[in-house]
Copies of this chain bind each other. A is one copy, B any other.
Amino acid sequence: MSFDDLMAYERQTQALSQVAGRLGWDQETVMPRGAGDQRAEEMGAVAAILHERRTSGRVGDWLAAIDDSTLDAVGQAQMRHIRRDYARATRLPGDLAAEIARTRSLAHQRWAEARAREDVAHFLPMLARMVDLKRAEGAALAENGDAYDALLQDYEPGATAAGLEAMFGALRPRLVALRAACLERPAPKGLSGTFDEAAQMRLSRMLAKTFGYDMARGRVDKAVHPFSSGSGDDVRITTRTAADDPFNCLYSTIHEVGHASYEQGIDAAYRLTPLGQGVSMGVHESQSRIYENQIGRSRAFTGWLHERMREAFGDLGVADADGFYAAVNTLKPGYIRTEADEVQYNLHVLLRFDLERDLIAGRLEVDDLEEAWNARFLADFGYAVDKPSNGCLQDVHWSEGLFGYFPTYTLGNVYAGCLMQALARDLPDWEAHLAKGDLTAVTGWLRARVQQHGGLFEPRAVIAQACGGTEPDEGPLLDYLEAKFGAIYGL
């Protein structure tokens, strides 16, 4: 039967895709430093073979022969993914895909040089080339629709720029106001001391288990950038340590455990099939963010964590559990998205979303990017960008052609806000569990409501179903942030 043949073929493709992910993990953790060039060629070969499989005429023949209406719901969901992926892969001309891959490598290098030299002009010609190529990609994928919307589908199937714009437009004024109000108040006292890095890693592994990460199907290592990698029975995470900042390590771990638990939690029946991965970047980020923030930075959980950290490190330089909670949830003036707290983080994202839409639409030229960035930053944050590495050169994404990726960060936060509201309704004593370090109920709720489904439902539908049928919007996130930070800062 054609469907079984197609699924056997898809399992091989998914398996090879998992293997490519494992190579990425290897490169960032254990690869010998002299192996980089050879590894690049190995990864390139795997990518080329994957592309060839995904655009193979064999798949087209199967798709033409299969009548989806004869399949059960799971089979139809598999077909939805396969048909969509095949349409996208075959719509993109092969020479355009190759040119984007080539430019990505060059632009990434140029970006790193420009950032090190604080020299925006050094990066702009390559960025201009990349923007041109992504406009062309968007146009090819969109057929007669919007190019940016077409690019968005790679990260968040079903999302539109118009929908995100409405959501983000509602977020921005209240976040700007909350941020300003908090920063007018005295900053809470931070931790002091030095924090043994081996002890940070031990605590990281303990936290990973506490949050339900299955160590028999994963592992925790150190890497320059924290990440989660893999699906199913082999989902690995990395974290990093700094002797003066244990929160960087611990909350990076909890964030990645959120991503990894999603992948580990998907129904085993979907393993190595199109349904066997997290359904979108936004839903993925909802899991990492709810683990990290709504759960991990809650008053209830930080009370428990405070004790664990005192056991590990002795005196932390804060008066009590309330002081610890405030130290975990401090707003600091800064420039860098990845270092930002829950309130300011989304303002960084909204800025990028507006600028990248303008770049792709041709309303903004790359020559004017730095000025546009700096003007918007001043408007939202109240102080000027001091150097390009703190401004428009800080993120890797555009150099790699990842236009449409940024908004999924804030969409994930919005989804996390909705999920937390529903979770608290379904589990009224959630804080009592967290105060004891028992996360079984809350992570179990997320597994049952979101994680197990993998790619079975569309992204928005997964969140809406988990929330008892309520369509997701920005309200719960805003209410949560205003209540939480209002209390901490005495607003």
Binding site for B on A (CB under 8 A): 11-12, 15-16, 18-19, 22-23, 26, 30-39, 41-42, 44-46, 48-49, 214-219, 232-234, 236, 271-272
Q: Would you call A42 and B19 a contact (CB within 8 A)?
A: yes
| Complex: chain B residue closest to A19, CB-CB | B42
What are 9 A-B contacts defined by CB distance under 8 Å?
A12-B48, A15-B44, A16-B46, A16-B49, A22-B22, A33-B216, A38-B271, A38-B272, A42-B272
Q: How far is the CA of A22 from the CA of B35 in the complex (A)?
A: 12
In the assembly, what is the distance between CA of A33 and CA of B218, in Å?
A: 8
CA distance A291 to B12 in the complex (A): 41
Determine the chain B residues whose CB is within 8 A of the CB of A45 once the complex forms: 11-12, 15-16, 19
Given A38-B233, A272-B41; A46-B19 close (CB under 8 Å): yes
Give the distance to chain B from A212, nearest Cβ to Cβ, in Å.
Answer: 14
Taken together as a complex, chains A and B put the C-alpha atoms of A280 and B232 apart, in Å, by 38
- Whether B234 contacts A35 by the Cβ 8 Å rule is yes
**Known contacts A26-B26, A30-B30, A30-B219, A18 near B42 by CB under 8 Å:** yes
Choose among B16, B32, B234 the residue that contacts A216 (Cβ–Cβ < 8 A). Answer: B32
* Contact between chains at B38 and A234 (CB < 8 Å): yes
Give the shortest distance, in Å, between A50 (CB) and chain B (any CB): 10
**Does more than half of chain A's interface fall in helix, strand or loop, or is it mixed?**
helix
Complex Cα distance, B38 from A454, in Å, reads: 17
B234 touching A12 by the CB < 8 A rule? no
Give Cα A44–Cα B11 distance, bound, in whole angstroms: 11
**CB < 8 Å neighbour of A41 from B11, B22, B34:** B11
Contacting A217 at CB < 8 Å: which of B16, B18, B34, B42?
B34
Q: Which residues of B contact A19 (CB under 8 A)?
A: 19, 23, 42, 45-46
Instruction: For A36, list chain B residues within 8 Å (CB).
Output: 233
Residues on the B chain within 8 Å of A31, using CB? 234
A136–chain B nearest beta-carbon distance, Å: 26
Contact of A46 among B15, B39, B217 (CB under 8 A): B15
Cα–Cα distance between A130 and B36 once the two chains are bound (Å): 41
A6 to chain B, nearest CB (A): 15
Q: Which residue in chain B gives the minimum CB-CB distance to A217?
A: B34
Taking CB atoms, residues of chain B closer than 8 Å to A37 are 233
User: Which residue of the partner chain B has the closest CB to A232?
Assistant: B38
A18 to B39, CA, bound (A): 9
What separation, in Å, do the CA atoms of A18 and B49 have in the docked complex? 14
Chain B nearest Cβ from A35, distance in angstroms? 4
Alpha-carbon distance between A86 and B42 when the two chains are bound, in angstroms: 22
When distances are taken between beta carbons in the complex, the residues of chain B under 8 Å from A233 are 32, 34-39
Q: How far is the CA of A30 from the CA of B44 in the complex (A)?
A: 24
Contact A32-B232, Cβ < 8 Å, known A16-B46, A49-B12: no
Give the shortest distance, in Å, between A151 (CB) and chain B (any CB). 28
Chain B residues within 8 Å of A16, by CB: 42, 45-46, 49
What is the bound-complex CA distance between A48 and B44, given in angstroms?
19
7 closest cross-chain pairs (CB), A and B: A15-B45, A35-B234, A34-B216, A34-B217, A12-B45, A38-B233, A15-B42
